[in-house]
Amino acid sequence: MPTTTIAMIHGGQHTSHCWTPTLHAIRQFKGDFHPLAVDLPGRKTQSGDLAFLTVEQAVNSVCRQILDTEPEHVILVGHSMAGIVLPGVAVKLGSTLVRRVVFLASCVPPEGMSIVDTLRPPISWVTRWLMRNKNVTKPMPAPVAKWLFTNGATAEQHQIMLDSLCDESANLARQPVERRGFRSFTRQWILTCRDRSLRPAQQRRFIANLGGVDSLVEIDACHNAMITHPNTLARILVDEGGGFQESGD
């Protein structure tokens, strides 16, 4: 059986560390699944200038990290801000390699618009405050991050999120997006029903910006579901037959 790499891309102000609980959960499943959490440029081991980071540079970096593992098949997963990176990664890797593209509570602006053009309160207020006259933003204060990202989490889960926070490129959030060549891919959306960063109604607008998805899974989770609901998320990602049923973590 061919090995399937589940490549996971973090969102804004985060590093790959946020995927740690889900990485562990995926490894518990029998089958040929290889979980891989990548970093965008300018954080952890990936070089890059956050002040001038572009979507194209992020796409190229993610593709290189995935291809370095010599995958046979790939399931792409992107969280939050990674919604602007996922389409380009899928197109660059190609439909022969990419089996499915999974948007987890992702930000998907309309063609030609940017993340900052489409965010709604309260996350839009926080984002604009952090970005005021800056090319690189510092992590948001811990109480704000807990409220936006991990509401309902345990103390340990809050700490995983806080340990994942990092400086971010304001340029990525300001850059207009385009998704040329992406419509041919199988698309799945994981909608987080208790999300305070990207409310369910806004996520549905983002789904519409994509032109719809092939499957939609709703889970009773906050924005950082990869931390608070790793088992649920892992079951969705390894299920390629559409038989997922939500259960507790």
At 36-92, the pLDDT tens digits run 999 999 998 899 999 999 999 999 999 999 999 999 999 999 999 999 999 999 999
- Class of residue 121 by CB neighbours under 10 A (exposed 0-12, middle 13-18, buried 19+): exposed
Identify any residues that bridge with 9 across adjacent strands, giving them in sequence order.
Answer: 38, 78
Give the whole-number percent of the chain exceeding pLDDT 90: 83
Is residue 248's pLDDT more than 70? no
Asked whether 78 and 86 are in contact (CB, 8 A), the reply is yes
DSSP state of 214: S
Q: Which residues of 221-244 are buried (b: 16+ CB within 10 A; e: fewer)?
A: bbbbbbbbbbbbbbbbbbeeeeeb
Residue found by looking up tokens 């005021």 in the block: 132
pLDDT of residue 126: 83
pLDDT of residue 242: 46
Q: What is the pTM of this model?
A: 0.94
Amino acid at 56: E
Q: For 136-155, how does the pLDDT look when each residue is reduced to its tens digit (9 = 90+)?
A: 999 999 999 999 999 999 99
pLDDT of residue 243: 44
pLDDT of residue 9: 98
Residue ranges of E strands in the chain: 4-9, 33-38, 73-79, 98-104, 136-137, 168-169, 187-192, 215-219
Asked whether 6 and 35 are in contact (CB, 8 A), the reply is yes
Per-chain mean pLDDT for the chain: 93
Half-sphere exposure of 210 (CA within 13 A, CB side): 29
CATH class for the region spanning 4-238: alpha beta
Closest CA to 105 of 29, 217, 244, 181: 217
Closest CA to 166 of 44, 24, 52: 44
Domain ranges of the chain: 4-238
Is residue 123's pLDDT more than 80? yes
Give the whole-number percent of the chain exceeding pLDDT 70: 96
DSSP state of 170: H
